[in-house]
């Protein structure tokens, strides 16, 4: 996704509904893949000799407190019900005797009888760049009474470069993050990068992250190979996996690389594996505009709507309030400043679910009154800001990961794409000339994913794709396409939300997903659910 770096976590643990909408679903605005085949195991249990020490390692699970990278996780990880460990993997699978990376895992043990345990269920919440460790604790809470938590150990892991895994991706200081340094080029016309600045971006990311070889090996294909090592070390002959948003890309790539090692796979809020970066972004940002328009229609029915009574004029009304922040941010009571980028982040994050619409309306009301408390709160959630002013690395991880996953564009191509984005999503338009640059312009390593991906896979068991009809971040068409590519069952859910599996609290979806994961029973093609 090099389009818009929005991530969410908790300054303190919020209510489950808010957490699910803001964190677990992830913002996945880009995806691509490829058809290359790795030198991995060709059958369950078959391990290349050079990788044997990784596949045969023993994990040492213990307390999770030392794994926390945010103030919220410091509280959550103190729970003795959670245990954590580090998995050693090659930084470069083509050089297994070279540097290694440490992948942080959190385990929530199955609650049922030992003889009913089915194995481990690996989880990925999206991003890319979100912490799977934090997500596992939320899924365990939200699905506490599910057969899934009774019969599976939930395993959340921070993908290489992310969160508690090391080496960790790092491109900016906390002070620079506080000042809303650009981690994307979506807001073209707002602090646009020069060619030299894109060069410096790569250099500083490499320096602060542990070297150029780190930035060369954080792509999705590397993470998929880590998952296979994880599967074996956890004692599972075949993988059970649930991934949301970007996690659908990760799951699909694993299925392509290791189809013989798949037991069950639930892919929720799917990304189209057949569509390239530029075309996919237009579809996805059109989805966000649709979510904004629906929110505006909701607002128009409420007294004193700050966007007016005509939803067709809401985008223009919103930008009249937002664009002045480019030159003059709002000073908040605590001395911080609400910038254009911060305010837009504060609106987009709650768009992930219609449950967030009242929050957006309140935030825009405050903005109109010259305040920004609510929008700053959601901006901080998106940027992993802790109460002490420190930041998590999800946004930086997203940037680096997508430099290996996405297509690269010349400045002319990037600018044309951003103009097209603003045409399909006018509520995001800056009103400034577009002079965008691909922030990965000077990454010396070519993208490693390639696409279309996950096509014509042989020997893949039946998987399950879950897709919400009015998903604002990953439109329903992507779910249809992914299900077709994988030969998967498709569960269509009528509603407006991004991500619903394990954390959505919908009995229909939960029952179908549990039946699939536990009993490997695919749903009736004619059956659907409603939020």
Which two three-digit tokens encode residue 444?
């010396």
Rounded to whole angstroms, the Cα distance separating 471 from 172 reads: 32
In whole angstroms, give the CA distance from residue 242 to residue 124: 7
Check 170, 405, 471, 510 and give the catalytic one. 471
498 is catalytic: yes
Q: What separation in angstroms does the CA of 497 have from each of 226, 235, 298, 311, 466?
A: 30, 35, 15, 20, 12
Q: Which residue in 120, 134, 188, 245 is the catalytic one?
A: 245
User: Catalytic site residue 471?
Assistant: yes
For residue 84, list its beta bridge partners: 62, 106
Between CA 508 and CA 66 the distance in angstroms is: 38
Could you tell me which residues come within 8 angstroms of residue 454 by beta carbon, excluding any fewer than 6 positions away?
33, 252, 253, 255, 256, 273, 482, 485, 486
The phi, psi pair for 107, rounded to 5°, reads -115, 130
Confirm if 58 and 65 have CB atoms less than 8 A apart. no
On the 0-12 / 13-18 / 19+ scale of CB atoms within 10 A, 79 is middle
- C-beta neighbour count of 108 within 10 angstroms: 23
183 phi, psi to nearest 5 deg = -110, 10
Task: Give the integer Cα–Cα distance in Å for 475 and 453.
Answer: 18
Residues taking part in catalysis: 245, 471, 498
């Amino acid at each position: 996704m090099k389009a818009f770096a929005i991530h969410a976590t908790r300054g303190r643990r919020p209510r489950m509904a808010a957490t699910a909408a803001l964190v677990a679903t992830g913002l996945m605005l880009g995806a691509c893949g490829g058809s290359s085949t790795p030198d991995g195991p060709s059958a369950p249990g078959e391990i290349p000799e050079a990788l044997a020490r990784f596949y045969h390692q023993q994990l040492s699970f213990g307390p999770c407190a030392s794994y926390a990278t945010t103030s919220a996780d410091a509280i959550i990880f103190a729970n003795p019900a959670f245990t954590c460990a580090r998995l050693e993997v090659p930084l470069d699978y083509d050089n297994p005797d070279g540097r290694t990376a440490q992948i942080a895992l959190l385990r929530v043990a199955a609650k049922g009888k030992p003889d009913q345990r089915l194995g481990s269920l690996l989880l990925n919440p999206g991003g890319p760049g979100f912490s799977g460790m934090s997500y596992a604790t939320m899924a365990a809470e939200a699905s506490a009474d599910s057969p899934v938590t009774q019969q599976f150990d939930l395993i959340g892991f921070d993908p290489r470069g992310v969160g508690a895994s090391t080496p960790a991706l790092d491109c900016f200081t906390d002070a620079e993050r506080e000042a809303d340094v650009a981690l994307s080029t979506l807001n073209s016309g707002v602090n646009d990068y020069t060619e030299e600045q894109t060069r410096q971006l790569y250099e500083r990311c490499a320096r602060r992250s542990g070297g150029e070889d780190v930035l060369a090996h954080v792509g999705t294909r590397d993470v998929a190979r880590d998952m296979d090592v994880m599967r074996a070390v956890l004692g599972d002959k075949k993988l059970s996996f649930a991934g949301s948003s970007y996690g659908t890309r990760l799951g699909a790539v694993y299925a392509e690389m290791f189809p013989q090692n798949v037991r069950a796979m639930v892919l929720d809020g799917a990304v189209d594996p057949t569509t390239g970066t530029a075309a996919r972004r237009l579809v996805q940002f059109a989805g966000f505009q649709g979510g904004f328009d629906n929110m505006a229609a909701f607002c128009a029915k409420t007294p004193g709507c700050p966007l007016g009574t005509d939803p067709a004029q809401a985008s223009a009304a919103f930008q009249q309030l937002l664009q002045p922040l480019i030159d003059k941010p709002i000073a908040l009571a605590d001395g911080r400043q609400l910038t254009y980028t911060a305010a837009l982040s504060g609106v987009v994050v709650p768009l992930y679910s219609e449950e967030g619409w009242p929050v957006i309306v309140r935030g825009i009301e405050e903005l109109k009154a010259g305040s920004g408390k609510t929008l700053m709160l959601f901006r901080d959630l998106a940027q992993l800001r802790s109460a002490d002013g420190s930041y998590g690395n999800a946004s930086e991880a997203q940037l680096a990961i997508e430099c290996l996953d996405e297509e690269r564009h010349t400045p002319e191509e990037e600018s044309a794409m951003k103009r097209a984005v603003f045409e399909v999503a006018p509520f995001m338009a800056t009103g400034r000339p577009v002079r965008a640059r691909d922030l990965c312009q000077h990454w010396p390593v070519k993208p490693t994913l390639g696409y279309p991906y996950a096509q014509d896979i042989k020997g893949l068991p039946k998987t399950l794709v879950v897709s919400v009809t009015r998903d604002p971040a990953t439109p329903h068409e992507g779910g249809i396409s992914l299900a077709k590519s994988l030969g998967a069952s498709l569960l269509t859910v009528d509603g407006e939300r991004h991500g619903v599996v394990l954390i959505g609290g919908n009995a229909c979806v939960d029952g179908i997903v549990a039946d699939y994961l536990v009993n490997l029973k695919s749903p009736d093609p004619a059956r659907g659910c409603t939020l």
